[in-house]
Amino acid sequence: MEKTGFDMDDVVRKYIRYTLNEKPFNPDVVVDLIHLRKASMLEDAEVAEILNEISRRIVREKGPVVMDLAGFTEQGFKRKLAVQTLFGKILYLSELPEFCSRDGSLVVKEIFGVTDEDADSIRIHTLSETSDIESLEKMVDDSELGHGPSPLS
């Protein structure tokens, strides 16, 4: 790490931001993030602060979550929908016990200005709660399409 000038906190923060913005949010990505989190050996409070900091940055750049999207231009609608999507991903990670403990320092909902009711409607449900297995399989298959042709083809 000394050669790059980044400490483990920076690496985890930057990779989470990259993942939220650039990668399809699927089970493989979540597993990768959990592995990185465990390998980082960061304390739960440090991981919570990383998620809080990423949340603050999103709100500063794109604004808070807006639930009523009526009256927005197409561009505004897409922007606010993107904020909802980012919030859903961060909320999902923050609620995974393998990723982050739920202590008082994690304030993602407050940062985004989201009520408990709003969070419930945006929440990405865990894979074990997903009843439509075909949709889940399609989500995983679609993410593999971006990796180019299979070596077997």
When mean pLDDT is compared across 46-50, 64-68, 71-75, 126-130, the lowest value belongs to 126-130
- Is residue 1 assigned to a domain? no
pLDDT for residue 3: 74
pLDDT for residue 83: 94
**pTM higher than 0.85:** no
- Is residue 46 assigned to a domain? yes
- Is residue 153 assigned to a domain? no
- Is residue 2 assigned to a domain? no
- pLDDT of 138 > 90? The answer is no
Number of separate domains in the chain: 1
- Is residue 152 assigned to a domain? no
> What is the arithmetic mean of pLDDT over 34-47?
94
pLDDT band with cut points at 50, 70 and 90 for residue 105: confident
Instruction: Name the phi and psi angles at 94, rounded to 5.
Output: -65, -25
- Is residue 51 packed enough to be buried (19+ CB in 10 Å), middle (13-18) or exposed (0-12)? buried
> What is the arithmetic mean of pLDDT over 63-75?
91
- Is residue 27 assigned to a domain? yes
Which range of residues forms the domain containing residue 36?
8-144
